Structure 1
Amino acid sequence: MTYNSLFTVLTDAALVEETLTHAIAAAEAHDAHLDVLCLGVDRSQTGYYYAGASAIVLQETIARAQEESEEVEALARKRLDVTTLRWSLDAGVSQLADLGRHVSARARFSDLVILPQPYGDGRGAELEPVTESALFEGHTPVLIAPVGAAPVPHPKRILLGWNESSEALGATRAALPLLRAAESVHVVVIDPPTHGPNRSDPGGLLSQYLARHRVKVEIDVLSKTLPRVSDVLLRHVTDMDADMVVMGAYGHSRFREAIFGGATRYMLEQAAVPVFMAH
């Protein structure tokens, strides 16, 4: 597998430079085509307006979204025009509730989607559904660019979170081009099961699979000495000086993770390095 077709979504003028910097670096590294979707988002919930609400109010929200779309598009074109990439750009307006349809329709015909960190200060409500739409409806791996971090188109040290789930295996397969090119890949297993076929060799079958793909792999078995699995992963990112994390996304339901938290959400909130995810 190669990354020949990349895709990114821009909804906030303040995040255009940050997101495109990562997307352009990835496109240059893989000699890929970059598709850009610039969306102005109507964040109002029309279904909740009281009866008889003025049509002017509704028109104002759409007009505001159109202005945002035009601003984002202008910034994106200015940034892309100075590159030598093969790229294309679409722009439009979408209501928040209908955002997923537009994102997934394009993501499913891409090899990799590059998106900004969806959680944190100043992050719009639309960033989370954009990320989830690419993963769940688009069935495409996503690379999350952390706030303030430099692009890492050729990661040298990759932390691969492994819990024997289909999500983690899917992320591993999707990330193979990056894993093969890395200097070292650490398969991290936290509190492996004490029963089952792999209890005596946690991560062994995955390590064998990766070695056959010419991946330079090591296995790190860790104890859950911190309250959350994501805390242990983030600490190990620092310990091994990793410059990318590969992991499965949303092993539990999205509703459960939204209410109670989960490894995916906490990693996306706290990671200081790019996170490559697939579901």
Structure 2
Amino acid sequence: MNDFLIHVRSLDAWTRAAEYGVRLAALTGSAVTGAFVYPSPLTLAPTYSSPELLEAILASTRETAALAKAQAQPFLHWAREQGAPQAAWHAAEGDVAGALAHIGTWHDLLVLDRGTDPATHVPAELARIILTVGLPCVLVPRHAMARVSLDCIAIGWNGSQEAVRAIHAAMPLLQRASRVVLLEGPLRRTYPEITWKPPLDIDLYLQRHAVHAEHRPLASDAGEAGEALLEGAAQVDADLLVMGAYGRSRFSEWALGGATRHVLADAALPVLLRH
């Protein structure tokens, strides 16, 4: 995991995602790219627009583009000050999820935030990004974090494909942790017609990568899974929660399952998700 991509949602001040992503890059010796995405004027213009309105929209877009490009040197300088000298900056015009998916093709991890206003960056928007970019994503909480640490990492484990993908994606971070805790819920079979013989031995898999995990069962039914995961992570004082991003429908890029939605809305710690 050598290249981090950060979705920078504001040019007014460095966002929580920028703060966490740059500091995590410094901690892990990784390169980091900040990306600001602004909408195309074609998506902002009403169907029937006057020439004056179109010109105003174009002028506003040009101004935003200029401001976004001008943030390159400040971002690089700030990243160096935070201990991440390998930094880059991109400004992109277009759809946020599509632009991040394109830039993400040469990155290993995408860092996102929900903003400081609970009414912004709603779960539907986050879901579309998470399910589009094809990268593991770290969702950063709204509050400022005193420090970035990987001392303890909790894993939401139910045997599903998504959980395995999340663990595989997080392996470089798990290998840095002093403590790894498997928060175990009921095993989930995504494809009942397929039976692994033998089933995946998660302890053996982790040990092959020099990761030794504790086991902590979660007493929860499916409706309380998200709350139980967050409570379990808090009980072990986790610095990061790793979990799969579960979609309620394989055919919908908008809908996430209840546990994932709960974590997206309420997590007070960074969460690494992999769909």
> TM-score interval w.r.t. the shorter chain?
0.7 to 0.9
Q: Work out which of the residue numbers 181, 184, 187 in structure 2 matches 1:186.
A: 181
2:113 aligned with 1:111: no
Q: Deviations over 1:150-209 (max 9, x none)?
A: 276541111100121111100000101111221221111224479x9xxxxxx9821221
Q: Work out which of the residue numbers 114, 120, 138 in structure 2 matches 1:143.
A: 138
Question: CA offset at residue 12 of structure 1?
Answer: 2.1
Q: Work out which of the residue numbers 249, 252, 258 in structure 2 matches 1:253.
A: 249
Which residue number in structure 2 is paired with residue 24 of structure 1? 22
| Aligned counterparts of 1:253 and 1:16: Cα–Cα separation in 2 | 35
Residue 49 of structure 2 aligns to a residue in which SS?
coil
| Aligned counterparts of 1:170 and 1:118: Cα–Cα separation in 2 | 27
Which residue number in structure 2 is paired with residue 200 of structure 1? none
Over 3 Å counting, the alpha-carbon distance change for 1:235 and 1:76 in structure 2 is farther
Over 3 Å counting, the alpha-carbon distance change for 1:35 and 1:86 in structure 2 is same
Residue 53 of structure 1 aligns to a residue in which SS?
coil
Asked whether the 8 Å contact 2:149–2:239 carries over to 1, the reply is no
Amino acid aligned to 1:207? D
Which residue number in structure 1 is paired with residue 195 of structure 2? none
Asked whether the 8 Å contact 1:207–1:217 carries over to 2, the reply is yes
Over 3 Å counting, the alpha-carbon distance change for 1:58 and 1:260 in structure 2 is same
| Aligned counterparts of 1:104 and 1:260: Cα–Cα separation in 2 | 19
2:220 aligned with 1:224: yes
Question: CA offset at residue 93 of structure 1?
Answer: 2.8
Q: Deviations over 1:103-158 (max 9, x none)?
A: 11111210111111279525246x9546634x434321111111124276541111
Which residue number in structure 2 is paired with residue 199 of structure 1? none
Asked whether the 8 Å contact 1:152–1:243 carries over to 2, the reply is no
Over 3 Å counting, the alpha-carbon distance change for 1:119 and 1:187 in structure 2 is farther
Which residue number in structure 1 is paired with residue 172 of structure 2? 177
Per the normalisation by structure 1, the TM-score is 0.79
Q: Work out which of the residue numbers 235, 251, 270 in structure 2 matches 1:274.
A: 270
| Aligned counterparts of 1:140 and 1:211: Cα–Cα separation in 2 | 24
Which residue number in structure 1 is paired with residue 128 of structure 2? 132
Structure 1 alignment gaps of length 5 or more = 197-202
2:163 aligned with 1:165: no
Question: CA offset at residue 222 of structure 1?
Answer: 1.7
Per the normalisation by structure 2, the TM-score is 0.80
Q: Percent identity?
A: 25
| Aligned counterparts of 2:27 and 2:219: Cα–Cα separation in 1 | 36
Question: CA offset at residue 250 of structure 1?
Answer: 2.6
Residue 181 of structure 1 aligns to a residue in which SS?
coil
Which residue number in structure 2 is paired with residue 89 of structure 1? 89
Asked whether the 8 Å contact 1:182–1:216 carries over to 2, the reply is no
**Structure 1 stretch displaced more, 171-180 or 204-213:** 204-213
Over 3 Å counting, the alpha-carbon distance change for 1:111 and 1:252 in structure 2 is same
Question: CA offset at residue 79 of structure 1?
Answer: 4.0
**Structure 1 stretch displaced more, 105-114 or 30-39:** 30-39
Structure 2 alignment gaps of length 5 or more = 193-198
